[in-house]
Each structure stands twice: as C-alpha cells, then as structure tokens.
Amino acid sequence: MSKLGVVLGGAFFLLALAACGQQDTQQSSAHTEREKDSILAGSQIPGAKAVKKTMTVADSAAARGLRIDSAQQNP
C-alpha cells in the first residue's frame, strides 16, 4: 500500500470519526425570555435602562389591550 493510500485512508477515517462524534443538542435555560430580560434590566450594563423601559411599554400596551377587549365583551 502506498503512502498516499494510507494518508487518504487516515483522512477518511478521521472525517468519519468527526462526523459521528458529537451531536448538536441545545440545552434550554431554566429562565424564560421575560425572566432573562428582567435580569438584564436590573443590571448595570449599558442599555439596561432601555430594556426596562421597553418592558414597561410592552406591559402597558398589553394591559391596554386587555382593557379594550374586556370593554368590548361587556358594553
């Protein structure tokens, strides 16, 4: 067997081994997106105040939507 055959065989073996090695699994965090945003909003990093303001505006809009929906159901 020539050196080229050994090198190609070894390269193929390593490629096959790498392909079968590790499965790509995502580990989900114990925190929801809302909890992560809340933690970020309470931090001292730049932009944290904007995250907090955005969450406040979103909560206000959701509450306003619920009030409008309940007003339409109970005229």
Residue-wise pLDDT tens digits, 22-55 = 665 566 678 888 899 899 999 999 989 999 999 9
């306003």: which residue's tokens? 64
Number of H helices, E strands in the chain: 3, 0
Can you give the pTM of this predicted structure? 0.53
More confident residue, 7 or 38: 38
Highest mean pLDDT out of 6-10, 27-31, 60-64: 60-64
